[in-house]
Amino acid sequence: MPFGVVQVPVWSDNYAYLLIGEDGDCALVDSPEAAPILELLAERGLRLTHIFNTHHHPDHIGANAELAECHPDLEIWGGVYDSDHSRIPGQTRALRHQESFSWAGSNCQVLEIPGHTLGHIAYAWDNGAVFVGDTLFVGGCGRLFEGTPQMMEHSLYSVLGALPGDSLLYCAHEYTEANLRFARSVDGDNAPLLSLCDEVSHARREQRPTVPSLLSDERQYNPFLRCDSEAIRRATGASSQTPRHEVFGILRSMKDRFRG
């Protein structure tokens, strides 16, 4: 039986995820803050065995050390780049692109998706759950803090984009409303996008999360997955001959400057 996923809201807009196996063992995808995690573990009587870090930013690895103190046998896994550069506290295993492992009776494939950072990885499980960190958000994508537009375009289209359409994407932030405001500014005639805007507004008024999302849906309304579309090329001033990574780079720069 596949593990269960419990979304853990942290601070104003972060999400961590507890993966819960049948035997009471659990794993954590990213560790922004220890207190809510420890509280949930105690409340449910769970044993934390692993942390699966997506990348090295403080709001993803900040609680590693405290959680390891409370769980001395804790395994902390992350990408090989971050391991080589000692960027993830307590890391015990370095994961490479397309490496597979099993946990709680489920199989996972590691995907290197640089762009937001050089060491960013995703965890793609055989039950369809994909933990994408800060690379792909609902209706948006992460800033390019370390990588290039070409790297991120490859990560979005050739790596994550190669996954099945029914992949359920768990991102690490509740950025959807802001992302959709930008999306409407560049793709305002997109019917699926306009419909989603209404759904998201209603959900957030009721303080419900907008995460996760389906990859097939993201392809319809996420402008960063629509760089081949006429609408996005027109909005960026690109021609039909402009390489997709250049269109993406223009679009990402537009988002960085957007104040709508």
- How much is the pLDDT for 101? 98
Q: Give the pLDDT band of residue 1 (cuts 50, 70, 90).
A: low
Backbone angles phi, psi at 111, to 5 degrees: -125, 125
The pLDDT tens digits for 201-241 are 999 999 999 999 999 999 999 999 999 999 999 999 999 99
Q: Give the pLDDT band of residue 260 (cuts 50, 70, 90).
A: confident
The pLDDT tens digits for 138-158 are 999 999 999 999 999 999 999
Q: Which residues are catalytic?
A: 55, 57, 59-60, 116, 134, 173
pTM exceeding 0.95: yes
Q: Where are the domains of the chain?
A: 4-257
The arrangement of strands across the sheet holding 129-133 comes to 100-103, 106-112, 121-125, 129-133, 168-171, 213-214
Largest pairwise CA distance in the chain: 57
Does residue 74 contact residue 49 with C-beta atoms inside 8 Å?
yes
Residue 141 tokens read as 């994508």
Q: Give the pLDDT band of residue 2 (cuts 50, 70, 90).
A: confident
Which CATH number does 4-257 carry? 3.60.15.10
The pLDDT tens digits for 10-36 are 999 999 999 999 889 999 999 999 999
The pLDDT tens digits for 75-119 are 999 999 999 999 999 999 999 999 999 999 999 999 999 999 999
Half-sphere exposure of 74 (CA within 13 A, CB side): 25
**Helix locations, the chain, DSSP H:** 34-44, 58-61, 64-70, 80-84, 149-154, 176-186, 191-205, 215-221, 230-236, 244-257
Reduced to 3 states, what is the DSSP secondary structure of residue 237?
Answer: coil
* Residue entry with tokens 């050739």: 158
